Structure 1
Amino acid sequence: MSELTQNLKPYCVGRYLIDMPGDVLVTGGATVQGVRIESEAMTHEAYLQEVASRKAELRGTKSIDPYPFLYADDEIDGPDAHYFVYRGNLSDGPANRVFEAYKWDHGHRFKLGIEGSDYLHPDQTNKPYIQALDVKNDVPVKTALIFDLVKRLRWRSEDEIPREPGLCFFGAFLPGKATDKEDVGAQFVFPDNRDVSLGLGSNSSIREPNTLLQRGDQINAGLSSIKGGRTIRKGAVKLQGIDAEEWLIAGETDLGVPGSMFTLEANSMTSSAQSPLLTLDFYTGSPNAFMRDRIKAASMSESEAVAVWDIVSGTLRPRPNGF
């Protein structure tokens, strides 16, 4: 395992850094202020074709009532950013709104989405439950939110470690100060050990009622349902500027082979914009975004998995000026 961990480099996830092998496979996305954001490598021609196809599809969809299906269809500062506002499914009521935006930058397509409602067009304020709503039309607010995110969002190579405040996720960087509604996730898969993955999550909008170790009874109960399930070790962990807890488990995986399931958690009960809930999950002998095939055995032994975990998890740290 020494070859695997001797040439590590920093990767940016959310507002944090973690060191991983330089050839690691990466995927992930983010949800910011309720807006789901995903990125995909794509040529400019393919991007334009995708937007054109989506435009034709939405324009060609007719609602089953007298009200429109498509409410907005326009560019955002040029042809490389476009947005739609439409009803959603044909069975959705006339107040339902789906916001969908696209942006192309440096060979990557970003797709953004959020749902909203408008009970004023058509006017449904004669209904008591709608009269009780504080906001009866959030289309203007969510349109402004989508526009703001689209304009700020830019492509980022995995080698780039930004020096300004902002969120990193796969293929992207969103500049801006930390907020309490940021959910970012990334999965790293070792190319020569496709059954080995590490998932890092950062969520500033979730605050748990207890810590990882305080959920011991629940975890131990779950262990009893795993063939060969047992605790390798557990306890508090001091990282670079982060107080965390870890629980390392061994047992049969979803692929039916003995493997490892390690978890680290920080800021469980104190999650906020400046210290979001952090979760780090390490699996061997398990399926992931890049490997779903059946295997006869995990590609790492238990001792090798622990050695890799100790090195990699110990590098998790806040990104300088990230917040």
Structure 2
Amino acid sequence: SQKAVMNNLFEEVRPYCVGRYLIDLPTSFSRYKLSEKMEDNMWEANISRPDDLYKTYILTKKMYHPAFLQFIQRREKELSVKKTVNIDNMPFLKKTWPLINGGDGIIFERNEGPITSDFIRVLEGYLYTNGVVIKLQKKTINDSDPRYEKQRDGDNIRNDVAKDIFQMQSLMTRLTGRDDNEIPTKPGSCITNAFIATDPSEIEQEDISVGLRSDKLINFRLVLETDNFISEENSVLDRMGEIKNNLAKSRGYLERKGRFSVNGLKMEEFLAVGLQEEKDDPRYRFELYVNEMNSHYKTPSLLLILDNERMAPTTYRKEEIISFWDTISHTIRLRSGAY
């Protein structure tokens, strides 16, 4: 019966797009988040440029357009009546900025918080596209007020608001909502519910992640993370001694490790097995790495994780979980047209 369930899991399979990569997954897998509220800022991606002081964080949510308009009105009202502890930092909401090229949304320029000096600002932007709300948030600086002259201590005034507003507006013109079943054909990166078309300068640093679960592979989760700028000094297999020691201390052991190539990509993996921290149920953590030491614009890194840590007991045998892992991991590939 367990083998039948595992076979049934792969009866319907579809490609899933994360960043510039594709992986074939059973159709029962879908994204999960700890919170669906935009106010909780469960970021799904961050985008930056090499000279940025602060990153732009992104999250998405499917929503009907009337509900989006109501949300924007409510949010603007919340920010406009919010107070600061120091009256010199008022108003809390400094300005609203429109989107360019007829974009449907708004950018709020506001204080970071009620007790923070207002030379630190937050740009909180919202874009509505194809039934998806995309929230962007980025810190910026404006210390042009004369009361910050002493704090500047002779340094030049720094006002990055206009530059960062333009950068956010430009990024929004390259964002489009999409269904996660839709695989783009243009250069760019997939995030949950949306697609980011490649920037013309080709220097943006992308950091994207998604968590997935299936109601057919109960009590397991998949995580995919990709970036194009963080390269490790050594590989996961080079760190295996430390990993083995940590596993031994936490009631685990190494089931398998190694290197292999699939679809023109060199991969490294390790499969750890053991017992849960507070009970004697089986615990699994499998990790696979692509371009871990060579993460650049056209060779983005990818991390795939399958685990059931601190979850309810699984009914699957170790061999079945490994078979599932081998099936999906060997489908990883760069999306055609990603560059």
Match of 2:88 in 1: 66
Cα distance change on mapping 1:238 and 1:123 into 2, 3 Å: farther
Match of 1:304 in 2: 320
Moved more, 163-172 or 190-199: 190-199
**Structure 1 outlier segments of 4+, above 6 Å:** none
SS at match of 1:3: helix
1:315 aligns with 2:331: yes
1:9-20 equivalences in 2 (<5 Å): 9-20=14-25
- Given the two structures, how large is their TM-score scaled by the length of structure 1? 0.90
SS at match of 2:268: strand
Pick from 245, 248, 251: which aligns with 2:274?
A: 251
Q: Which runs of 5+ in 2 are unaligned?
A: 1-5, 34-43, 49-54
The Cα offsets for residues 175-232 of structure 1, whole Å up to 9 and x where unpaired, read as 11554510011122122223112111101121112111011122012102222x0111
Deviation at 1:27? 4.2
Match of 1:24 in 2: 29
Pick from 219, 226, 232: which aligns with 1:208?
A: 232
Cα distance between partner residues in 2 of 1:93 and 1:237: 53
SS at match of 2:88: coil
On the 8 A contact 1:284/1:299 being kept in 2, the answer is no
On the 8 A contact 1:12/1:18 being kept in 2, the answer is yes
On the 8 A contact 2:255/2:272 being kept in 1, the answer is yes
On the 8 A contact 1:95/1:122 being kept in 2, the answer is no
The Cα offsets for residues 123-166 of structure 1, whole Å up to 9 and x where unpaired, read as 634435672x8x82221221111101222211111121111101
On the 8 A contact 1:27/1:170 being kept in 2, the answer is no
Q: Which runs of 5+ in 1 are unaligned?
A: 288-294
Cα distance between partner residues in 1 of 2:164 and 2:103: 21
Moved more, 9-18 or 114-123: 114-123
Match of 1:43 in 2: 64
On the 8 A contact 1:235/1:246 being kept in 2, the answer is yes
Cα distance between partner residues in 2 of 1:254 and 1:152: 45
The amino acid across from 1:260 in the alignment is: Y
Deviation at 1:23? 2.4
1:109-188 equivalences in 2 (<5 Å): 109-122=133-146, 124-127=148-151, 131=155, 136-177=158-199, 178-188=202-212
Cα distance between partner residues in 1 of 2:8 and 2:261: 26
Moved more, 272-281 or 250-259: 250-259
Match of 1:292 in 2: none
Cα distance between partner residues in 1 of 2:152 and 2:167: 29
Deviation at 1:87? 0.9
The Cα offsets for residues 262-320 of structure 1, whole Å up to 9 and x where unpaired, read as 00112122111111221110113654xxxxxxx2x213221111000001001111111
Please report the RMSD computed on the Cα atoms of aligned residues, expressed in angstroms. 2.1
Deviation at 1:19? 0.3
